[in-house]
Each structure stands twice: as structure tokens, then as C-alpha cells.
Amino acid sequence: MAHALEVPIDQFGDLALRSNKSASISSTCTVFAESEVISLFARGASKEEIASGIHKSIARRVAGMAKRIGVGPKLIFCGGVAKNPAVKKYLEDELGYGIECPTHPQLTGAIGAALIGQENNSN
């Protein structure tokens, strides 16, 4: 989606957070959502509004899944997407509580795998 809006991926979250309103993104399929984004842009929606709508749509879906499996406070947000400030903020808004994010969330999985490998190698 950042590519569709011609925004560098590392600036995508900040772009979304600069908006005072969000465009409505209803498609769950990436291909259809990209068509929706192009249509919104053609109708005059700003990049900020569209980026905010994309991030809120993602957060809404993820929060819905998290609630269904019983996720509660003291949630740790890991992986590369955790570096996106808009996903974190909108996810917190949807869940109704703050979430923790490690200093280098994109490394969490690799560190865990290395620790498991080390443990298995020492047995």
C-alpha cells in the first residue's frame, strides 16, 4: 500500500498519524484494497487520510482476531510491523489498552529461534 501511495515504507506509519481523519477502507483482499486506495486518491482523499484508513483497517482486523482468542493486557507487539507507529497506536485504540514493543521488535523471532537452537544443541 505504501508503494501504491508512492511513500517510502519507513515513512508510511508517520504519514498516517499526521491525518485528522481516515478514509474508509473496507476490502480485506490486498488487491481489492489497492483498487479502493487508487479510487479514493482519484476522488481527492489525501495520502494521509488514505494511509490512516489503511492502518486503522489493519488494526481493526487484528484486534478482532486477538479478542476472539482471548488476548488481554500485557500484550507484546513483535515483528517488523511493530516498528510502524500507526499500527501500534491504532491497535492500542482498538484493543483499549497499551501494548509493549521491544526495542528491536524485528529481531524477536530470530532471537527466540537462536535460543531454542542453543538449548537443543546443548542437550
Q: List the Cα angle 93/56/101 in 5-degree steps.
A: 55
Q: Is residue 116 part of a domain?
A: yes
Q: Is residue 3 part of a domain?
A: no
Q: Is residue 1 part of a domain?
A: no
Total structural domains in the chain?
Answer: 1
Tell whether the model's pLDDT for residue 4 goes beyond 90.
Answer: no
Average pLDDT over residues 9-25: 92
Q: Is residue 112 part of a domain?
A: yes
CATH number at residue 59: 3.30.420.40
Could you report the per-residue pLDDT of 48-97, keeping only the tens digit for each? 999 999 999 889 999 999 999 999 888 999 999 999 999 999 999 999 99
CA distance 122 to 66: 35
Q: Is residue 80 part of a domain?
A: yes
Quote the pLDDT of residue 28: 67
Residue 88 sits in which domain range? 9-121
Cell of 69: 482468542
Q: Is residue 33 part of a domain?
A: yes
CA distance 38 to 24: 13
